[in-house]
Chains A and B, each alone.
Chain A
Amino acid sequence: MGSGRKQLSRQHLAELERIVGKKGVRTDATARAAYESDAFMLQRANAEVIVLPRTTEEAAAAIKVVRDAGLVVVPRGAGTGLSGGARPVENGAIVGTARMRGVLEVNAEDRYARVQAGVVNVHLTAACADVGLFYGPDPSSQTACTIGGNVGNNSGGPHGFKYGSTNRHVLGLTMVDSEGEVIELGGPGATGDGGLDLLGPVIGSEGMLGLVTEVTVQLLPRPEKVETLLCLFESLDDCCDAVSEMIARRLEPSAIEILDRLTIEAVEASVLRAGYPDNAEAVMLVEVEGGDEEVDATSADVIEVAREFGAFDTRRTTDPVERKRLWAGRKGAFGAMGRIAPDLYVADVVAPRTRLREIVTAATVACRERDLKLANVFHAGDGNLHPNISYDRRDADEVRRVLEAGRIIMEACVEAGGSLTGEHGIGLEKQDEMCLVFSDDDLAAMDQLRGAFDPDAFWNPGKMLPVRGCREIHTRPLPTHAQPAEDAS
């Protein structure tokens, strides 16, 4: 065993095995190596133990043991997160929900479902397809990511444009608190019980307030008609401007996505080839939902704007098989970048939708100056940009340049009035950049809220909130919608 490793005592280990079964506890070097990161590959750490409970009760009992053993806990879903939120804390425990995969209840009449936190996002939608309902948030990793992970990161997805992020869909949560007690927040019928809304702070808390073990979500009726449109552009700038115009004209499709040429090439070379044309510099993928007439009218408006802004071709389809293919290509775009280089930095920033072109240009310039390969694929409809920078983590200088470019992109967004993250969370990746948006006072207030749930920094310590003060990070908070820091110099 490695030196300086905090050993879990034999009794604690036996106790964990008794609670979750032998197959649910791993402390060996192989397992620790497999869990050393989530999908954010730049930082790794070794956990002391990996625990996979099967029920809320097992989770609660296991948490008590872990706490008693003096370890901290990093909650983990499927480990598809892109900002390091589920990276282990050195010598801490990973408590994962991968074996909590039960859909506990689908209530078609009251239109809600109650699931264990480890249920995979698409499996929830599949489980309620029979009764004509679906779950709204559809992150690109939805074939793998879990509902619990979605709660932790307040995930969105392409259709977040119409349906909003996870926080608009969660009705209730069951979680294990830092004492190992089970607490219930909200519930299926909840329109709020009065008092403070405690769901709010938990959704998007990146596992810092407790372990969410069960989630009650609202379900939506499947729209009567869904049409998917492809608009092809000769320039990415024009494509961005067309989106800005669609927003300005108050068009309401359910999703507006943009893919640039490099992304299209990577997708088309993969098993997910979607039939995106190879003669476009940028493709706009739009989905329109609703009644027959509504869909026809909106689609016509979308195409009109696209043409005005130089779209040289537009295609539309309502065929479910073809639509599925078009979306699978979009959703696999991140993975498809593996064809370009071994690693990918997926930035996740939000810009005001009137300034998409400007931010895309800033990203392009930042990468060109640093000799980096940039691909753009993003949720244009809600201004959530994902500049994807390909790199190889074995090249230290390239890693430095990538992080530098990432920071410039974040700064540009914040300066334009946007934000640091659309859906991937802050995690480890953007901790320091929190100071671009928040003052020391803001951050202290957040820390106080966190302390109300978790006074001993037991849950996912060292994530999201900067470890060092902003003054130490030497960042001048930029004037934003947040209060500017009084002591900004």
Chain B
Amino acid sequence: MSRETLVDHARALDCIHCGLCLTTCPTYQLTGLETSSPRGRIHLMRAVAEGRAEPDATFEDEMNFCLVCRHCESVCPAGVEFGAMMEFSRGALLERRPPGLLARLARWVGFRGILVRRAGLRLAAVGLRAVQLLRLDALVSPLLGLRGQIIRHMPRVPSARERRPLPPVTPAEGPPRGTVLVLDGCVMPELFGRVNRAMTDVLAATGREVRSVPKHVCCGALHAHNGELDQAEELARKTISQFNEVDGSAPVVIDSAGCGAHMKEYGRLLANDPEWRERASSFAARVVDLTEELASPEAIPRLRERLADGHGIQGPVTWDDPCHLCHGQGVREQPRQLLDLVPGLERVEMSGADSCCGSAGIYTVLRPEDSLDVLDPKLESLEQTGAKTLVTANPGCHQQWEIGVGKSGKGVEILHLAEVLERALRPR
């Protein structure tokens, strides 16, 4: 593989080296090193392509150290598409220097065995639940160092009833406003089935008929972020076909920010595939985050009418922006607007709400120490708000916060925005 194809050279040229991205970067914040800043990483990619640096182990480590939170994209005046560049580099590095046998096996099991198969995911969930019920996690965690701490504080895998898939159709309540498709997702139904159901209920309450896509499993976001680009493309094609089989024009509503950000970029992902380019772009245009859908002028009045106090949610609440919602999709106002609709709920802003919590997909597993270091300042910010409930909208962040709050022993409840709204729709 030649140097030119190792990085996305054309995109690297957009960077003019101004440095305005530096302070937004969580890894630069940790190290103060140019090498772990967006500007530095782009500079290194370009240096590699132009033969002034070697794509050696240190280079690779800096690429993998990045969380791909894309905070830098939110402030980049030159519009550098950093996330896309990073996915490209990781993919190329993987091809150039495949990881060791064990790592390759783990990747194969993870990316091809579990994530993309419902049976695999169920098996993993059942296994993890058994481990948790038998307290085996507590038993082995001291042997696993930081990973052990993470495992011990991971959210419990809920009972099988909680993990049942979404019904194929949920009818609209009140005057109907048309159909939407929703993504059940890979990890979501196993760990956060209740969130998916809350999403469905809230959408139905605003007059949407909600249809799920039972055949579908994985959108490919985690594959793309970790350099498995061929697999990501394949999963994108599959996703588009399976959703279009159910409905070829309805909006596609996503309650997981990482998936939404990725699916909105299917057009770019399949840009080099003449057969799929068009279909991918028009599908991507139908993808909306749940908060965008619910904050639409048609949905807001329906929610306002029905949301009530007595939801039992402990205030004050604070909103933590998932990176792939605020930086990846530019969605910042809608979630706040929705929380403010809930009667009897005081909302406080958290400083640095739009900086990364360290979850970053499977980063917590790959680099536990860095992941927790990135989380630390966030935990401090949370404490300063005095919030009793933290609201997010992405399973990775949800889990990371559970780990953080569990580790620090603070009694803060972590909820998905859909859960907040659902509780306020059906006050006890």
Contact = CB atoms under 8 A, between A and B. Distances in A.
B77 A335 contact: yes
Interface stretch (A263-271, A348-356, A446-454, A478-486): A263-271
Contact of A335 (B40, B44, B62, B76): B76
Contacts of A120: 23
B58 interface: yes
Report which residue of A29, A41, A392 has the largest number of chain B beta carbons within 10 angstroms of its beta carbon.
Answer: A29
B20 A98 contact: no
Interface stretch (A300-308, A336-344, A469-477): A336-344
A407 to B, nearest CB: 22
A143 B47 CA distance: 26
Contacts of A336: 77-78
Interface string A31-56: 10111110101000000001010000
A137 interface: no
A79 B19 CA distance: 7
Contacts of B76: 270-271, 335
B56 A29 contact: yes
B13 interface: yes
Given A30-B58, A52-B33, 13 more contacts: A30-B35, A31-B58, A33-B47, A39-B17, A39-B19, A143-B23, A144-B22, A270-B77, A271-B73, A271-B75, A335-B20, A338-B15, A342-B13
A34 B44 contact: yes
Given A30-B58, A31-B33, A52-B33, A78 B79 contact: no
A118 B34 CA distance: 14
Contact of A33 (B22, B52, B73): B52
B19 A26 contact: no
Task: Specify the main secondary structure of chain B where it touches its partner.
Answer: loop
Given A41-B17, A334-B16, A335-B16, A98 B23 contact: no
B43 A34 contact: yes
Report which residue of B17, B59, B79 has the largest number of chain A beta carbons within 10 angstroms of its beta carbon.
Answer: B17
Contacts of A37: 17
Contacts of B19: 39, 78-80, 141, 144-145
Contacts of B13: 342, 392
A271 B56 CA distance: 34
B35 A34 contact: yes
A99 B29 CA distance: 8
A80 B39 CA distance: 11
A250 interface: no
A34 B47 CA distance: 9
B18 interface: yes
Interface in B74-124: 74-80
Interface in B305-352: none
A86 to B, nearest CB: 11
B384 to A, nearest CB: 13
Report which residue of B14, B15, B20, B52 has the largest number of chain A beta carbons within 10 angstroms of its beta carbon.
Answer: B20
Contact of A141 (B15, B18, B59): B18
Nearest to B32: A98
Contacts of A371: none
Interface string B1-25: 0000000000001111111111100
A424 B14 CA distance: 23
Interface in A321-345: 332-339, 342-344
A23 interface: yes
User: How many interface residues does chain A have, given as a range?
Assistant: 35 or more
A338 B81 CA distance: 12
A98 B74 CA distance: 22
Nearest to B48: A33
Contact of B18 (A26, A28, A118, A334): A334
A55 to B, nearest CB: 13
B31 A30 contact: no
A337 B20 contact: no
Contacts of B47: 33, 36
A43 to B, nearest CB: 13
B46 to A, nearest CB: 9
Contacts of B173: none
Contacts of B74: 271
A33 B53 contact: yes
B54 interface: yes
B43 A33 contact: yes
Given A120-B23, A144-B19, A337 B35 contact: no
A143 B20 contact: yes
Contact of A267 (B16, B44, B54, B77): B77
B62 A333 contact: no
Given A34-B43, A338-B80, A29 B58 contact: yes
A338 B22 contact: no
A106 to B, nearest CB: 17
Given A30-B59, A332-B77, A338 B14 contact: yes
A392 B35 CA distance: 23
Interface string A108-124: 00000000001010010
A96 interface: yes
Contact of A30 (B62, B75, B80): B62
Nearest to A335: B77
A120 to B, nearest CB: 6
10 contacts: A30-B56, A34-B33, A36-B47, A143-B20, A144-B20, A144-B21, A271-B74, A271-B75, A338-B15, A339-B78
A272 interface: yes
A269 B79 contact: yes
